[in-house]
Amino acid sequence: MSMSVVICEYEKVKERFPQFSQVLSSLRAGLVAKAQQDWPGLTYGGMNPMSGQFGISTIMPQLFRDITSTTLVTWHQWLNATGHRTILSGNNVGIIPEDYKVGICGLALLDKAIRISEIKMQISDLKLGRINIEEAFAYNKPAIVFEDWFLLDEETGFDLYAYVLSQGPQTIKLIGAQVNRVPNKMQVTVPGQAL
């Protein structure tokens, strides 16, 4: 399966890809509906869930591992090898942890130097085709925005592969939202960590 993407500057996603707000609205509605279906008895609590509710937030890097299989604290990582590599995967041995559902509609490369030229994703058994992102080299902090969103369900495998051109720092941020089943599980971060 292949996916359609738009490449543009991260700060100008809304301007260059006006359909983005529709994709994000669909993502949020889809995540909430899936959580209500899978977590009966819980209601939607928005960004401040209470007992008996599930919450929504931006995607937390702690749900993922980097190229070295280290749990992320921020979206920043050090690419330590070149060639075809897994640069992001689910934190639970390649699987999204229980009690979380993640909706992704793109990714942003938040560095001046872009060290990858292609990406491809695998979500459980669904393999999404390679995308050449060399066009992104012309942008300052490029975003690769999908024309549809993808669900990374709890206890589902996820891998983001890339062709790494050079070693060094790279900040790769997933764009989208996540829902969490247990309100206090959102407190897994400490001050200074990126959400």
47 is a domain residue: no
* 135: CB partners within 8 A, 6+ apart: 7
C-beta separation of 63 from 154 below 8 A: no
| H or E stretch at 178 | strand 168-180
Domains in the chain, number: 1
User: Cα separations (Å) of 184 from 55, 84, 167, 190?
Assistant: 10, 37, 37, 13
162 is a domain residue: yes
Q: What phi and psi values does residue 97 have, to the nearest 5 degrees?
A: -60, 155
Average the pLDDT over 86-103 and give the result. 95
Residue 189, pLDDT above cutoff 70: no
Please tell me the pTM assigned to this model: 0.90
166 is a domain residue: yes
190 is a domain residue: no
51 is a domain residue: no
CATH number at residue 150: 2.60.120
189 is a domain residue: no
Enclosing domain of residue 126: 5-13+61-177
Confidence of residue 183 (pLDDT cuts 50, 70, 90): confident
Task: Find the distance separating the first CA and the last CA of the chain, reported in whole Å.
Answer: 30
